[in-house]
Amino acid sequence: MKMLQFFSRKVALTLALALALSAGGVIQGHAARIIKLAHPNVPAHPMGQGYELFKKDLEERSKGAFKVQIYDSSKYGNFDAVVQGIRMGVLQMGSDGVGNFSVFNPKLMLFDMPFMIPSYEASDLITDGPIGQELAKSLESNNIKGLGYIEIGFKNIFSNRPVRTLEDAKDLKIRSTHSKAHIAVLQALGMNPTPVAWGEVYTALQQKTVDGIDIDLNLAYFNKFPELTKYVTMSRTVYSPHLVMISTKFWDKLTPQEQQWVTESFKVMQEFERAEIRKNEAMIIEKIKASGGEVIELTPEERQRWVEATKGVFAKFNDAIPAATVEAVRNTVNAGK
């Protein structure tokens, strides 16, 4: 009888093991791979929602072989902390504005150049095509693998006074990053760029340390900047993508199947995030108007004045961004029209 009971238990255990393997589940002794993922946005922003979707999709797709831990709102640290964590392999994934990566490859300042990319359709051609892929690949020598690009959107002028012309923009004290290219663009438009850390922007606007900020509609809305800036000038000066990166130290340890799962879940997230960014814009404009704000569209003639005013910026960064690269972007954009 004891032998029969032992045999029965053994058969049951074998069947349970077989079922676990066939289901692709994580069995005892094979711990899930942990992905620590850091990004700078609030959870309500399309980027925050996108990463939650990535987590859900990857954990389900891999049947528990992966577990994703998300550090939103720069909780892991600033850009330097995130990049250092990924290079060392203690942080597995993250994303940040492409211009920040110019410390590794100056060509990535390409995305800080003004009026280069006229539409979202054009942005997809650049980031998803050979130009964007080559730029991302250049980071691999720093243990950073680019999975692909998501986006922030087009920068517009949020300010506490109306900006309808270049003359109105003159001497506007506007928040800038520390990017030399970003500062050069704002100066070319006659503004007074003032570097302010991202976490201090709301307070700087509230205390009138700065008169405005050039930022996309989604970031402004989800960080409540329209509460402090009555006017929005739809300048669409610069398109801002985010590079989603994964540590090559982590990536190289994954099996081909695991790499495929991560790639597929990223594609799901990428499609969702871009769609939400673009869809939200009309809603945000209406909400700004409904709350008493004014949305200013530049006339075609005035917009061309802005384009002409910033043409000199390209010459300042010739050494970093070869003319051939700029020409390749313009040819790609024109071919897609």
Task: Find the mean pLDDT for residues 1-18.
Answer: 41
Nearest to 101 by CA among 55, 141, 130: 141
The C-alpha angle 253, 257, 261, rounded to 5 degrees, equals: 100
Q: CA 292, CA 207: separation in Å to the nearest integer?
A: 21
pLDDT-derived band at 22 (thresholds 50, 70, 90) equals: very low
What SS3 class is residue 316? helix
Per-residue pLDDT reduced to its tens digit, 28-84: 446 899 999 999 999 999 999 999 999 999 999 999 999 999 999 999 998 999 999
Nearest to 269 by CA among 61, 56, 71, 41: 56
Report the mean per-residue pLDDT for the chain. Answer: 91
Per-residue pLDDT reduced to its tens digit, 254-292: 999 999 999 999 999 999 999 999 999 999 999 999 999
Per-residue pLDDT reduced to its tens digit, 203-218: 999 999 999 999 999 9
pLDDT-derived band at 21 (thresholds 50, 70, 90) equals: very low
The number of helices, as runs of H, and strands, as runs of E, in the chain is: 14, 11
Q: What is the pLDDT of residue 23?
A: 40
Name the amino acid, one letter, at 277: I
Alpha helices by DSSP H, the chain: 2-23, 46-61, 79-88, 120-127, 130-137, 166-169, 180-188, 201-206, 217-222, 248-251, 256-290, 300-309, 312-316, 323-335
**Helices 130-137 and 120-127, packing angle to 10 deg:** 50
Contact, 214 vs 235, CB < 8 A?
yes
Residue 7 predicted with pLDDT over 90: no
Tell whether pTM > 0.75.
Answer: yes
Q: How far is CA 18 from the centre of its chain?
A: 42
Domains of the chain, start order: 33-335 (3.40.190.170)
